[in-house]
Amino acid sequence: MRTKSPDPTIASGPHPADHTTRHTSQPTESDEDMADHPTPSSADSDPTDEDPVTQACVHIDAAARQLEAAANGDAFSPLLGLAGQLALIRGGIDPTIRAAVDPHDGLGPLAHLNRALFLLDGVPPSAGPADLLVWSLRLADLHDAVLAAGSGQP
């Protein structure tokens, strides 16, 4: 003997309208804050529009993307490890900033890191994150590692 389920959707079976996909999740804070910033080396961007910390993060992200591309998908490439460490530094400084991909970017990873270090050196301690000096020192170490890896240009 079959009994009716107390759940009306089970008793009557699925309806075609029940299979529509609805976007019910609200945007998270990171979705709202995350923005692609133009690479400062692009011809149409004005580097004075943003603060130096933001510009430095864009340069760090651009260098990380170039190193990742230079690794050519090799999971054991030291360049991929350096790219990951650069991404961690950029995220430690400001996790909401990413560089927009610029196919006309003429700078290599070392040039991006040089500009990032230059920009971070000019930031007064009270204007940036509390641990900006630590991230800057780590970035200087990674600059030397990228130089030693011989990946100045992609």
Tens place of pLDDT for every residue, the chain, 154 residues? 555 555 555 554 444 444 444 444 444 444 444 445 554 444 344 455 679 999 999 999 999 999 999 999 899 999 999 999 999 999 999 999 888 888 888 999 999 999 999 999 999 888 888 899 999 999 999 999 999 987 555 4
Residues 95, 121 contacting (CB under 8 angstroms): no
Angle, helix 78-93 to helix 132-149, in steps of 10 degrees: 160
**Helices 78-93 and 52-70, interaxial angle, to 10°?**
160
The model's pTM: 0.67
In the chain, domain spans? 30-41+49-149
